[in-house]
Structure 1
Amino acid sequence: AMRRTLVAAGGTYLLIISGSLVVGSGASGSCDAWPLCGGGFSFGFDGLPAIQLLHRGVAAVIGLLIVFSLVSVLARHRRQPAVRATVALTLAALAFQVAVGAAVVTLRLPAALRGLHLALASAVWAGTVVLAVIVRRLSPHPALPWSGRDIDVARRPARDVVLDYVSLAKPRIIALLLITALGGMMMAERGWPSTGLVVLTLLGGALAAAGAGAINCWIDRDIDGEMLRTRRRPLPDGRIAPGHALLFGIVLGLLAFVLLAFWVNVLAATLAISGLLFYVFVYTLWLKRSTVQNIVIGGAAGAIPPVVGWAAVTHRVDLTAVYLFAVIFLWTPPHFWALALRLRGDYARARVPMLPVVRGEAAARRQIVAYTLVLVAVTLAVVLTGVLGTIYLLGAALLGAGFIALAILNLRAHRQRWSRVLFDYSIAYLGLLFAVMVADRMIGKV
């Protein structure tokens, strides 16, 4: 862990030197686009633009190295509050530093903000140095257990290895996320956007979601090994080395950002990577093991895809995009708690403070009804804004009535069977609700 913090600190120092070279050479304003210089993938730049591009390339490599190093240290010392706080603040500073650098170029912000860009880079460097000091003072702490069997991966069929890596990405979850992302795109376009834009946006979104899933599997490999539902996953079962899984997730996330930034737009790329970072750092590393409200707040990560889709088409985020976010944000608790009711024993065994474990099944069933009522009310109230019309109102009312009826049955029956039915219905509900939204917008355009 100590070596990794020093690597992060040294890399950040090199990044500051690289930025100083840009400023000193007068190359700060030589590029009028971000992340490249407006020339797509043409690297025939010379002079000042070449210096600027070199700095951005160095920043991309070192930024990835910093994230990898800090996440590794956090996994090793996750029980240390000082480590968690320092890593969180350092990563936040890094994210804002990148955002300010991009904004100065793309939004034509005052050049004085370059000072803030440098100040945030200095904050990142200070964070890595502080983290190195904290880690140095900590007594040796064993790494998280492998929680699996030693298997000679080299002797396994290539097909099995590929399928294991695919399972790390959690493809069934990705499918639902892509449905909502496509719904956001079609809502924005009031029809089918260009096929190329759809393919690139969904591919980038899939890569971001897959990266988040893989990193989640790496972080949660210890509790996955204690849960009956997840103990046969590749990491707790020892079929994939933990370090390989982490690298796989980080590479997928980086590819997602590059693809979306270069071929869609920077806003969509930023939103997608923000969803990944929120899922990994806010939900998985912080909320999941610390509070009964984990899925309530953590649901924001799953609500990002339709906003990404909207931004891919419109290049902005407006109130309609916020509404799409709110629908999934409110849908997530009743959906996930229905699953948690069925897996209450698993979560209790792994000491994960899900609502049915901490407050009991009756409280969870009541909360499911409450959140379902709020969700349905929000889905109907949007009609008052004029964004959606009669077709959507009828469809949302019918789908919402079914959701409420099943939530009440789940409350009164006290049987796991109804929790399963409610969980399955919630998935169908979300997909159909977005289909009704798109149909209403398309017909309203005619």
Structure 2
Amino acid sequence: MEQLERGRGAHDRVVVGPSAGAVAPDAERRPQPLAARARDALELCEKVLGVWERATAVFQECIERALDEPANVGRGGGRGSCVHDRSLAADRRRTPRNRPRQRHRFAVGIRPRYHRSTGGHVKAFRRLALATTITTIGVVGVGGLVRATGSGKGCPAWPKCFGRWFPPLEYHAIIEYSHRAIGAVAITLLGVTALVAVLKHRRDRPLLIATLIALLMIFVQAGLGAIVVNTGLNPTLVTVHIGTAMILVGLLVWITVGSYCRTRAAAGVMKEPVARSIEQLAAASAIATFALILIGAYVRGQGAGLAFSDWPLMRGTLFPALGGHATTMFIHRFTAVLTGAILAAFIWRANRARPRDAAVRIFANIAGVVYAAQVIVGGLQVLTKLAVPPVVAHVVLSSLLWASLVAAYSVARGLHRPVEAPAARAEEAVPQSVGLANTMRAYIALTKPRIIVLLVVTTVPTMMLAARGWPSGWLIAATVFGGTLAAGAANTINMYLDRDIDAMMKRTSRRPLPARQIAPQRALAFGIALQALSFFFMSATVNLTAALLTQSAVIFYVFVYTMGLKRTTSQNIVIGGAAGAVPVLVGWAAVTGRVGWPAVVLFAIIFFWTPAHFWALAMRYTDDYRAAGVPMLPVVAGPRSTQRQIVLYTLITVAVTLVLLPVAQMGVIYVVAAAALGMWFVQHALRLWRTGTPAAAMGVFNASLGYLALLFAALGVDAVIHIAA
């Protein structure tokens, strides 16, 4: 028997004696409830661990497929894939011991320290980083469960629960303590990840610093959790808690994705950069999503989730009366729409890119699917009166959306950076020496004052129509000033983004940035400051609806038109022209606090007027746009097709101006002016169609400016001196 026992493994010992195989009769008949619960809990834990392991494997495989692209560097035209660890390890195993080990053939051009860092510890670091990221997202998801079930005070003290390290068998206590336990697992995993980074990746300073910052942040997050519990779930602190969690998740995603591509990015082996517009749209989508998550957290902290009992409308309309919780929820839904628009532009641009952007395209499409699911789940929250499953799903999906967009930006930024020319960047950043007066003129020129004047011309008459007379002088001044700041911000950021093509075009080469009168970074900071000032000023002096509409125009103009459409489609000005039509909505909302049907018709007038106006200018400068690679309609379709489109949009514009007569009960002054001005505008368009000369094109451009200004002037006069038609 002794020999038999020695011959078995440690896990196969045979126990000899009276207790072998004997079971107490009572235990056989009546299993202990506590033991049964423990056994069930262990089985559940085993299942959860199994699912977690499979999920980790799937995520790892997805990231490897996305980032380790088929063509390796050095294998004939590889375009930036990471050095494959398994191939490198196999090559090392084949190296004879009696001769010096050579550098791997795939690692051409890579400095030795990056070559040495591609061993097994890199694979371990990748897995640790991925496991930490998934666990942290799990912590956020369980935190959502805590909020959805009202278990935030299930354990009123911290770190113990009712003075004990193990919670009582009570529903809320178990949920709350599970949140803390999974958080402890995340802290442990991140601690091990940081240890590996310190021991094995000391030379990779960005990765090391990011990992140590993440380790510090997770302790800060745990401390915030304790403060939130001890202060009674204050909405502001809950929002800060969620925001810190999202920053931590984003940092972990950056570390994880970076660890899969660290050799490639550090060696600078990329042959071509990712398009800058893709990188910018990825960043914009991530920023918008982060803002949306913060607003959603505040909505939940305030208990405003059911401020509107319907969805997607709000009390049966798109612009309800605001106040209290309704305002918070309206901002959340409004931000969700803007985020969706920016994300759609990013997905569309990423999918139009060449195959070298495959990883960015994959993450962008994942974000699109998650966003669509998030919208559906958000609606289910309202329809189910905040049932637990959709609330928890909403939290988890928001984390996944944020993570996928951070991953997309990390890949895009990592691919773009190695090929940037430092000398070119330095030259771009240094402005020419100019005097104070010239500098001030340059900053004013960034805002495009002539375009701002046109926006004022449309805003003030709209306010007069909404008030059926003269509104308050202070209200007009505040609306115009806030709108001027917002328009200046949009134009400034537009110049910052288009500074490369502005330098190629004769018409725009003397703008402040191509002329190096202002550093690009200062111009961008100036534009962002104007936008922030515009929002706070209009919120305080006009109303929140007008402020949000103003910001929507800026966001649409910058992200959808400038970054998404302008360089990719000949219909860029058709869609992007919506931004220039928003001021009439702002003017109407400034007076009434909402958007009415007359404002929608005025929006349509400017929307259909914009293509004819801008294409006429584009016909005059077709060679400029062709040289800069901007696919304006005259460049893509030719002059004849453009002339036909100008006539078509001119006729549509004139027809829409007449729709305002029954919608807003316009008087004789407006009707006569609209008809006369319409015939004049159409006459210029037909002259262009017949002659096709540059002079005729500029005639349409100038006539379009006069047409819009005189039409809205007649609108304002009719509102003050109304003569029934």
CA distance 1:118–1:160, shift in 2 (3 Å):
farther
Establish whether residue 79 from structure 1 lines up as the match of residue 252 from structure 2.
no
User: 1:192 offset after TM fit, Å?
Assistant: 1.9
Q: Which moved more, 1:185-194 or 1:335-344?
A: 185-194
Match of 2:703 among 425, 429, 440: 425
Pick closer, same or farther for the CA change 1:246–1:389 going to 2, 3 Å: same
Highest RCO, 1 vs 2 (Cα 8 Å, sep ≥ 6): 1
> Deviations along 1:400-427, whole A, 9 cap, x unmatched?
1000000000110121111112111111
* 1:70-127 deviation per Cα after TM superposition (whole angstroms, max 9, x unaligned): xxxxxx9661786466335424424544665787454165895997589647744653
Q: Are 1:169 and 2:447 matched, yes or no? A: yes
Establish whether residue 319 from structure 1 lines up as the match of residue 538 from structure 2: no
Aligned pairs for 1:433-444 within 5 A: 433-444=711-722
- Kindly state the Cα deviation for residue 135 of structure 1 after the two structures are TM-superposed: 3.1
Distance 1:177 1:152, change over 3 A: closer
* Structure 1 residue 202: Cα displacement: 1.0
CA contact under 8 A between 1:257 and 1:270: conserved in structure 2? yes
Q: 1:386-407 CA distances to partner (integer Å, 9 max, x unpaired)?
A: 5323321111011110000000
Match of 1:187 among 458, 462, 465: 465
Matches of 1:269 and 1:101, distance apart in 2: 22
1:5-84 matched pairs, under 5 angstroms: 24=229, 25-26=231-232, 79=275, 83=279
Residue 395 of structure 1 is matched in structure 2 by 673
Matches within 5 A, 1:21-420: 24=229, 25-26=231-232, 79=275, 83=279, 86-94=282-290, 96-97=292-293, 100=296, 104=304, 105-107=324-326, 120=398, 123-124=401-402, 127-136=405-414, 140-142=418-420, 153=432, 155-420=433-698
Deviations 1:290-330 (A, max 9, x none): 00000000001101111111111111112111111111100
Question: CA–CA distance in 2 between the matches of 1:332 and 1:18?
Answer: 54
The secondary structure found in structure 2 opposite 1:107 is helix
Deviation at 1:267, TM superposition (A): 1.1
CA contact (8 A) 2:286 2:406 kept: yes
Residues 262-300 of structure 1 show CA distances to partners (whole Å, capped at 9, x for unaligned) of 221111111111111111111111111000000000001
Q: Does the aligned pair in 2 maintain the 1:341–1:361 contact within 8 Å?
A: yes
Letter in 2 for 1:441: A
Kept after mapping to 1: 8 A contact 2:669/2:723? no
2:568 is paired with a residue of what secondary structure? coil
Change (3 A) 1:293 1:203: same
Percent of residue pairs identical:
39
| C-alpha contact (below 8 Å) 1:93/1:121 kept by paired residues | no
Distance 1:150 1:239 in 2: 10
Letter in 1 for 2:675: A
Deviations 1:123-161 (A, max 9, x none): 4465335522553466613169569788665x5211000
Q: Give, in angstroms, the shift of residue 233 of structure 1.
A: 1.0
Give, as a single letter, the amino acid of the residue that structure 2 aligns with 1:379.
T
Contact kept, 8 Å, 2:668 with 2:723, in 1: the verdict is no
The structural deviation recorded for 1:442 is 2.1
**Match of 1:291, SS?**
coil
Q: CA deviation at 1:194?
A: 1.2
For the structure 1 residues 85 and 420, does the alpha-carbon distance in structure 2 shift closer, same or farther, using more than 3 Å as the test?
Answer: closer
Q: 1:290 to 1:133 in 2, by over 3 A?
A: closer
Which deviates the most, 181-190 or 424-433?
181-190
Q: What stretches of structure 1 of length at least 5 have no aligned partner?
A: 30-48, 67-75
- Partner-residue secondary structure (3-state), 2:488: helix
8 Å CA contact 1:149, 1:237 repeated in 2:
no
Query: Which shifted more, 99-108 or 127-136?
Result: 99-108
**Aligned partner of 1:404: which letter?**
V
| Distance change in 2, residues 1:119/1:398 (3 Å) | same
What is the DSSP-based 3-state SS (H/G/I as helix, E as strand, rest coil) of the residue aligned with 2:418? Answer: coil
Which stretch shows the higher mean deviation, 121-130 or 218-227? 121-130
Q: 1:283 to 1:127 in 2, by over 3 A?
A: same
Structure 1 contact 183–438 (Cα < 8 Å) conserved: yes
Contact kept? 1:215, 1:249, Cα under 8 Å: yes
CA gap of 1:278–1:90, structure 2 versus 1, over 3 A, is same
Q: Is the 8 A contact 2:463 2:587 kept in 1?
A: yes
8 Å Cα contact 1:147/1:237 also seen in 2 = no
Report if aligned partners of 1:335, 1:423 keep a CA contact under 8 Å in 2: yes
Q: Which has the larger radius of gyration?
A: 2
**Structure 1, residues 229-260: CA drift from partner, whole Å, max 9, x if none?**
11111111111111111111111111111111
Which whole-Å deviations, capped at 9, do the CAs of 1:167-223 have from their partners, x for residues lacking one? 011111011111212122112111221111111111111111101111111111111
Secondary structure at 1:303's aligned position in 2? helix
Q: Identify if the C-alpha distance between structure 1 residues 423 and 98 changes in structure 2 by more than 3 Å, giving closer, same or farther.
A: farther
CA distance in 1 between partners of 2:406 and 2:397 (Å): 14
Q: Distance in 1 between matches of 2:653 and 2:221?
A: 47
Query: What TM-score do you get using the length of structure 1 for normalisation?
Result: 0.79
Matched-pair contact (CA < 8 Å) for 2:546–2:593 = yes
Distance in 2 separating the partners of 1:313 and 1:408:
39
**CA distance 1:26–1:256, change in 2 (3 Å):** farther
Q: C-alpha root-mean-square deviation of aligned residues, in Å?
A: 3.7
Name the amino acid aligned to 1:79: A
Q: Retained in 2: the 8 A contact 1:410–1:422?
A: yes
TM-score (norm 2): 0.50
- Residue 275 and residue 289 in structure 1: after superposition, are their counterparts in 2 closer, same or farther (change >3 A)? same
Are residues 16 and 439 of structure 1, via their aligned partners in 2, closer, same or farther at CA, if it must alter by over 3 Å?
Answer: farther
**Residues 97 and 179 from structure 1, CA distance in 2 versus in 1: closer, same or farther, beyond 3 angstroms?**
farther
Q: Within 1, Cα distance between the matches of 2:221 and 2:407?
A: 14
Contact 1:221 1:236 in 2 (8 A): yes
| Cα distance, 1:19–1:412 mapped onto 2, change above 3 Å | farther
In structure 2, distance between residues paired with 1:211 and 1:17 = 39
